[in-house]
Amino acid sequence: MTHLLTLIADRRATVLSDAAIARVREAAQAGPPAILSPSEAAELPCPAPPDMLAVSAALAGAPVDAIAMPATGRRKRLLLADMDSTIVTTETIDELATFAGLKDEIAPITRAGMNGEIDFREGLRRRVAMLKGLPVSALDATWRSIRFTDGAQALVATMRAHGAVTALVSGGFSFFTGRVAASLGFDIHRANVLLHDQHALTGEVAEPIRDRDDKLRALRELSAAHGLPLAATLAVGDGANDLPMLLEAGLGVAFHAKPKVAAAAHARLAFADLRGLLFAQGFHASEIIEA
């Protein structure tokens, strides 16, 4: 069997039933399933890349994700993860804007940028300029409100335990990526630097701005630095600025992504949490390191 098809349910909302697995097995002309996590994840060996439209039809609208991969080289040795709305549950700049009373003005610009409707650099500069004069203390207050996405800690800990390098690459700000990286155990973090005068934000962001090109550059540079082919890399993100690295990584996954990103990516998780990235690599539940 040359390929494996992994089915992953949202463990909080549904059950991956034997009936659903059987329907997908027939649609994909697959072999007997292996259960990775009871009622949550299973994999099916396939003689060729499965017809994902047929797989989707077999799932009949059930909140179950399906990711197909070659059977060889499934476990990736480099993880690149977006931060906002991926590793953490919100857009940190929108939460920061709350303390300026500007969330309703800034959040739509964030959405437009993540949907690829406006230039990312332009949108970032506009939003940061609107925050000029915000006390630096708002950064700490925002950090205290940040929550990690379900499965984020397990993803990083499990991949690191199996020898992978983990990197957080964000179009957000290093103030937050540094703290997220330290909390979850990322080896590397890379983000924009928000400028301030020790008391208040200046309304500027340092150059160079970390945009979609920089995320792709990070993928290439880190894989080369660690002697890894791109096939050995995993990238995950939700926005338009993530798409180039998702398309070039060995496994690029659009995570609860904006519609344009989900449509363009080769793999997506629309229902499951970040543990789904481990199941896609063939990890069994017993191998996952939980907090």
If you write DSSP's letter for every residue of 165-223 in order, what string do you get?
Answer: EEEEEEEEEHHHHHHHHHHHT-SEEEEE-EEE-SSBEEEEEPSSP--HHHHHHHHHHHH
Q: Which of 10, 65, 82, 211 is catalytic?
A: 82
CA 211, CA 180: separation in Å to the nearest integer?
Answer: 19
Torsion angles phi and psi, residue 255, rounded to 5:
-105, 110
Residue from 84, 211, 238, 273 carrying the catalytic annotation: 84
273 noted as active-site residue: no
Cβ atoms 31, 88 nearer than 8 A: no
Is 211 an active-site residue? no
Q: Which residue has the tokens 């096939």?
A: 231
Cβ–Cβ < 8 Å for 133, 202: no
CA-to-CA dists, residue 253 to 119, 136, 137, 207, angstroms: 22, 34, 35, 28
Half-sphere exposure of 210 (CA within 13 A, CB side): 21
Can the peptide bond before residue 208 be classed as cis, meaning omega within 30 degrees of 0? yes
Surface-to-core class of residue 227, CB atoms within 10 Å of its CB (0-12 exposed, 13-18 middle, 19+ buried): exposed
d(CA 240, CA 82): 11
β-strand pairing of 3-9 with 41-46: antiparallel
Quick check: 182 and 169 in contact, CB under 8 A?
A: no
Catalytic residue numbers, as ranges: 82, 84
